Amino acid sequence: MTENFWQGKRVIVTGGAGFLGSFVTEKLAQRGVTDIFIPRIENYNLTERDDIKRMLDDALKGGFDPARLVIIHLAANVGGIGANREHPAEFFYDNLMMGVELMHQAWKRGVGKFTAIGTVCAYPKFTPVPFKEDDLWIGYPEETNAPYGLAKKMMLVQSEAYRQQYGFNSIFVLPVNLYGPRDNFNLQTSHVIPALIRKAIEAQERGDVELVVWGDGSPTREFLYVEDAAEGILTATEKYDSSDPVNLGSGYEISIKDLAEMIVRQTGFQGKLVWDTEKPNGQPRRGLDVSRARERFGWSAQVSFEEGMRRTIEWFKANRDKIK
């Protein structure tokens, strides 16, 4: 079934050169897909309609049948709490324009399948845990990342509307926070796991006695290993044809305090953790109900958190000299 789906297909992976995208393209290759088109930011600014049109022209060169074109839209302007607080307007505009215009132009061209990647930030601030897809609209997202979360969530509205009116085959999956090898370890823009790994290793090398962590450690988060996420996205693309949103998560919830302690243990940092309670905690709890993905297209996460963290720390240590 899987191989049949990809046979004769050309696949556009926006954001294909990024963290998640690099694993999606690898897994496509493992499935025998040889015709992969990755639009690079230096060639196409996907917030501009003309660039999107030109990108689709280039992807459909040679009279390629658009019905055999698959678009996996991973590209996003993203960052942690700090970046979201500093650039809310950019995060809103860039993500909204990219998603809405790309899906619109894909429909106009008759593209066969469109996989839109949402974000767990789209969930309301006080969603009952575990987050169920049906609760996406019961309130406003956590303020620090609402502009980003809502911009991405508009693709869900668009997917439902375009399927209803035009019969356009698009799907919307919501991965929880990702982590793994090749993550962004730049302390200005990184998320909590790569930031803490880098801080702990560098603090250990300097002989620091303390490691400062934002917030009070009480919020909980769920994390999904990047290869599991890539597998979930491709499995959904192959087997799922509905605009009902679907969570992709591990089903494992951990407090930031326990996470920080695990990183200290796995990196060998000898000092103590200090909590900077002046800094924001973000959403109080975050954990997903992951049953829909299992029921609708038979996917569930395979890599345990402890194992995924071990692989991530090893990758960072091996690749530090290449990281800014």
Q: Alpha-carbon distance 101 to 155, whole Å?
A: 10
Check residue 66 and report its DSSP letter: G
Q: Alpha-carbon distance 54 to 101, whole Å?
A: 13
Taking a C-beta distance cutoff of 8 angstroms, is the pair 79, 68 a contact? no
Kindly give the pairing relationship between strand 36-37 and strand 10-14: parallel
Catalytic residue among 44, 123, 148, 162: 148
Annotation says 148 is catalytic: yes
Check residue 142 and report its DSSP letter: P
- Tokens for 23? 């694993």
Alpha-carbon distance values, 49 to 2, 31, 154, 188 (Å):
33, 32, 17, 30
Taking a C-beta distance cutoff of 8 angstroms, is the pair 208, 273 a contact? no
Count the Cβ atoms, other than its own, within 10 Å of residue 23: 23
Q: Alpha-carbon distance 257 to 269, whole Å?
A: 15
**No. of H helices and E strands in the chain?**
11, 11
- Tokens for 63? 């009279």
- Tokens for 46? 């996907």
- Tokens for 92? 């809103």
Amino acid at 294: R
> Helices 88-109 and 146-166 sit at what angle, rounded to 10 degrees?
20
> 73 in the Ramachandran plot: left (φ > 0), alpha (ψ -120 to 50) or beta?
beta
Catalytic residues: 148
